[in-house]
Structure 1
């Protein structure tokens, strides 16, 4: 069989017109039917492109010059090339279209779910300053601390960064002040190469509704020089800071947080509200980073669950109990299961905080706990699942099918693994009724979804 030959060569310059977008937001143009994927290209634009990589069936290019500019192109609010907000060059309307198309494509290609209604994606009125948490690496340049994100596929800090158009205003105010004080009192940055120094990361979390803020200083060392001055100056200037925490990570690792955490000042938790519920958030808690859209997402999950006061519900991958407590507002009983012990500790605290007695939290793997519940006679009406990006383990999907709930509500941050898992559940006797995309992360390629399934 003759080997196909690409009509372009590496380092060649070509002129093409972008026809489409990939799920990563790259422009797709063709040369003699051969697709080139080019970052920052938008459909309808003609451009000069340098070919930088050639594969058998497709290649990659670099945008050199635009011959014409799409009406959907906008001037980015941020010109720091950290790789976080990949879609700032396109209008918000086009971003939503791109994500809608991505969901539709994976449902068809991966899930073979052509029958499923996919509702229009729910976007934000203001797609900026929505993030309630930052974890930013600390480095050193010219003898001074700098903060900034790593360049794509590297551990080199792009440039000194104080503010970010995706972060909450409170975070943008506090971060540069932390850096300024740390520089003045001589806190040394961690040197990853030599495994020396002190300050590795700065984490700031803030409550959207309460404005309560937590500062977490991730250090290599137990000792934090000048911490009394740092605490005094920050708390004097920012009365909304309710907690200052030190996390110690003395390992050579890419993981941000270490095992040991100690409160230097204030409380162990800050609080936030979603709807009528209040949540206590610790340094290590998983809590959705976009509280405005979290309320939208959880309201939709609750709507899909269709629960009443007689229903028993299982919330798998329950985290600190955010979805569980939303469900418990309507259900007879909610059982939450989560593999992280600290999360279950926080979930129980949140149930107590909201005076909810109809919810029970258990530490363990859902695929192992659920068959035990089945043997004990637990017969859920609804199962809600919100797994990590890799989706559900096959054993867990099998356990769900065997429990035979009337409805499954699947919350997902990855359209591809959602489509794969919906296919397995469909083959196990369920039907996907509808899918609702929600834009939790504007200006990025990520999209959140909630799907409703019912037993046939």
Structure 2
């Protein structure tokens, strides 16, 4: 059944919420204030979804998309939203998650931290199909590749790699379904796999006075403009003796916050990343931090780490957040201060709700980092204290 609805707000994931006589529905590709004609399309996990058939009255927050591939390429979904309103909406989504999912009653006023909305990505995964000569990114909700020669969100250096792949018809990439690229310098872009005479296996990323050796397949923060802001945001509020950095990767937060603690241990379950972290500690003359290969979910190693008795714990978990077991383990450590960085405000809110309502913490400071402009993704951070 078709009906006309007005989008009331946007929820995490980027869909617009509208209320109807039969209940709440969620409509993709809409923004607050849109009046749209929709048709119910599916009900999934108790949630009603709808498809927009026409835009009857555009929101004042709309604008023309910045890229000719928008709507076809699945890489970004908010190019049609005015950038200042993107930032405002992400802050509201963060607060809504904290209240609704985390059941946190404390009044929060998160900082909103952003930079340029274009040319910010220094890490990407380019999809390749040498048989069909298609190189670019997946179509929305599909494994079909949209051929893209230039992406306005990629840095100039990564766009050069993308264009090179097109010009050489994917030379050297036969048999690969994608190539991961990472780096700042046009002369030293790391990739996996390596493209002969264009990329290398590893490179150095500089953040202020700090240096990070990374590989093409390393996890590293994607927004080149906000690396320093993200890495040092918490520094004025941290002072500890022993720091435990969980899900520490190649050492980004341990190194950026190294002056905030006297000794530290980084924990990561990927051995190659721990080796990179150890190398990065040495390259930055940080002898007071050690790297430790361990899984937060598994017994002997974590039991041993409990004896470390940290007064500061940093957690930067993957999108699903902390498991119930990991939440309880962190709570049992009972550090005075927790720094939680997250790419998913819903799982952050769930974990923060446990820490605040059951583990005796309060939120000292919060921030929303717009690491992914022109998409509905957001990064957020909390400093919690006993």
Q: Is the structural similarity TM-score above 0.5?
A: yes
Which of 111, 116, 123 aligns to 2:114? It is 123
Which of 149, 162, 173 aligns to 1:175? It is 162
Distance verdict in 2 for CA 1:330–1:407, change over 3 Å: closer
The CA deviation string for residues 396-433 of structure 1, in whole angstroms up to 9 with x for no partner, is 32232222221111111111111111222231222222
The CA deviation string for residues 177-220 of structure 1, in whole angstroms up to 9 with x for no partner, is 2232246x6x685xxxxxxxx23223322226x863124338xx
- Equivalent residue number for residue 144 of structure 2: 156
- Equivalent residue number for residue 261 of structure 1: none
- Equivalent residue number for residue 194 of structure 1: none
Which of 57, 64, 75 aligns to 2:53? It is 64
Which of 128, 139, 162 aligns to 2:129? It is 139
What is the TM-score with the length of structure 1 in the denominator? 0.77
* Contact 1:116/1:432, CA 8 A, preserved across alignment: no
1:156 CA displacement: 1.5
SS in 2 for 1:410: strand
1:328 CA displacement: 1.8
* Contact 2:191/2:217, CA 8 A, preserved across alignment: no
Q: How many residues align?
A: 381
Which of 368, 374, 380 aligns to 1:443? It is 374
Instruction: Tell me if 1:217 matches 2:188.
Output: no
Measure, in 2, the Cα distance between the counterparts of 1:57 and 1:334: 45
Structure 1: any 5+ residue segments left out of the alignment?
Answer: 1-8, 190-197, 219-229, 236-240, 245-267
SS in 1 for 2:335: coil
Output the aligned Cα RMSD: 2.4
Measure, in 1, the Cα distance between the counterparts of 2:169 and 2:225: 32
1:338 CA displacement: 0.8
- Equivalent residue number for residue 296 of structure 1: 229
* Contact 1:371/1:399, CA 8 A, preserved across alignment: no
| Matches for 1:68-87 after TM superposition, within 5 Å | 68-80=57-69, 81-87=72-78
SS in 1 for 2:99: helix
The CA deviation string for residues 246-273 of structure 1, in whole angstroms up to 9 with x for no partner, is xxxxxxxxxxxxxxxxxxxxxx420011
- Equivalent residue number for residue 315 of structure 2: 385
1:395 CA displacement: 2.8
1:82 CA displacement: 1.8
* Contact 2:136/2:162, CA 8 A, preserved across alignment: no
- Equivalent residue number for residue 353 of structure 1: 283
SS in 2 for 1:329: helix
Q: Which has the larger radius of gyration?
A: 1
Instruction: Tell me if 1:205 matches 2:182.
Output: yes
SS in 1 for 2:160: helix
